[in-house]
Structure 1
Amino acid sequence: MTKRYLTPKGETFTAINDVTLRVEPGEFCAIVGPTGCGKSTTLAQVSGLERPSAGSVRVHDQIVDGITNGVSYMFQADALFPWKTVLGNVLIGPVLLGTPKKEATLLARDWLRRVGLAGFEDRYPHQLSGGMRKRVAMAAALINNPGSC
Structure 2
Amino acid sequence: MSADTSPAIELRGASKIFKTPSGGLHTAVRELDLTVGRGEFVAVVGPTGCGKSTTLTLVSGLEEPTEGEVLVTGEPVAGVGNKVGFVFQQDATFPWRTVLSNVMAGPRFRGVPKAEAKERAREWLSRVGLTAFEDRYPHQLSGGQRKRVALAATFVNDPEILLMDEPFSALDVQT
Normalising by structure 1, what TM-score?
0.90
Where in structure 1 do 4 or more consecutive aligned residues deviate above 6 Å? none
**Is the partner of 2:32 in helix, strand or coil?**
coil
Task: Kindly state the Cα deviation for residue 38 of structure 1 after the two structures are TM-superposed.
Answer: 0.8
Q: How do 1:60-71 and structure 2 match up within 5 A?
A: 60-71=73-84
State whether residues 74 and 141 of structure 1, in contact with CA within 8 Å, keep that contact through their aligned partners in structure 2: yes
Greater per-residue strand proportion: 2
State whether residues 23 and 148 of structure 1, in contact with CA within 8 Å, keep that contact through their aligned partners in structure 2: no
Unaligned runs of 5+ in 2: 1-13, 163-175
State whether residues 26 and 148 of structure 1, in contact with CA within 8 Å, keep that contact through their aligned partners in structure 2: no
Task: Kindly state the Cα deviation for residue 46 of structure 1 after the two structures are TM-superposed.
Answer: 0.9
- Match among 123, 128, 132 for residue 119 of structure 1: 132
2:46 counterpart residue number? 33
Comparing 82-91 with 98-107, greater Cα deviation is found at 98-107
Q: Which whole-Å CA distance do the structure 1 matches of 2:113 and 2:69 have between them?
A: 31
Task: Kindly state the Cα deviation for residue 87 of structure 1 after the two structures are TM-superposed.
Answer: 0.9
Unaligned runs of 5+ in 1: none
Q: How do 1:1-149 and structure 2 match up within 5 A?
A: 1-149=14-162
State whether residues 70 and 144 of structure 1, in contact with CA within 8 Å, keep that contact through their aligned partners in structure 2: no
Normalising by structure 2, what TM-score?
0.78
Alignment: residue pair count: 149
Q: Which amino acid aligns with 1:8?
A: P
Q: Which whole-Å CA distance do the structure 2 matches of 1:97 and 1:51 have between them?
A: 23
